[in-house]
Amino acid sequence: MRAPHGVTLAQGPTRRNLLTAGAGLGAALLATRSVCAADLPPELAVAVLGFARGAPVREGRVALEIAELVENGNAVPVTVSVSSPMTASDHVVALALFNERNPQRDVFSARLGPRSGRARVSTRIRLATSQKLVAVARMNDGSCWSRSVDVIVTLAACIEGDG
């Protein structure tokens, strides 16, 4: 079948179109699966994905309370909370906090359960420099939720001595 200008008319979607559409769909699926990990520096993403045990980490449900401008990195109050009913059928199993630029990525991890009644943990942490913090919660159904915050530190916690 010939079109007036000698171009073959497409009968429905061509194979090339289908292939590119398929590749695009795959890429889109991958992008939603690791929406959080994609934005993170690689070392931090590895720590977060390790905690998630292969589950997709989605943004939301977790709140990370910390001062955005930290004057003293030696003891920074931080609170991680998760919106969850904390019932036997729907609760937070574990939550963890990771950092980007301290010597180690881990800050703390905690195990919770229905007997916690609420998912909210506070502590005080050290920050070596201005950086990104990521809180991740793992639910009893295996799904993972996260929240990241950038903080600016004016006086760093000591890594290189008091001098």
Residue of 24, 123, 15, 6 whose CA lies nearest to 76: 123
131/102 Cα distance (integer angstroms): 9
By CB under 8 A, is residue 5 in contact with other proteins? no
By CB under 8 A, is residue 48 in contact with other proteins? no
By CB under 8 A, is residue 68 in contact with other proteins? no
H/E segment holding residue 81:
strand 76-82
Token pair of 38, please?
């994609």
By CB under 8 A, is residue 52 in contact with other proteins? no
Which residues are within 8 A (CB) of 144 and not within 5 positions of it... i.e. 6 or more apart? 51, 52, 55, 56, 57, 58, 136, 137, 138
By CB under 8 A, is residue 124 in contact with other proteins? yes
By CB under 8 A, is residue 82 in contact with other proteins? no
Report the residue number, 64 or 112, with the smaller CB distance to other proteins.
112
Quote the least distance from Cβ 86 to other proteins, whole Å: 8
The site for other proteins (CB under 8 A) is made up of 74-76, 86, 99, 102-104, 106-127, 157-161
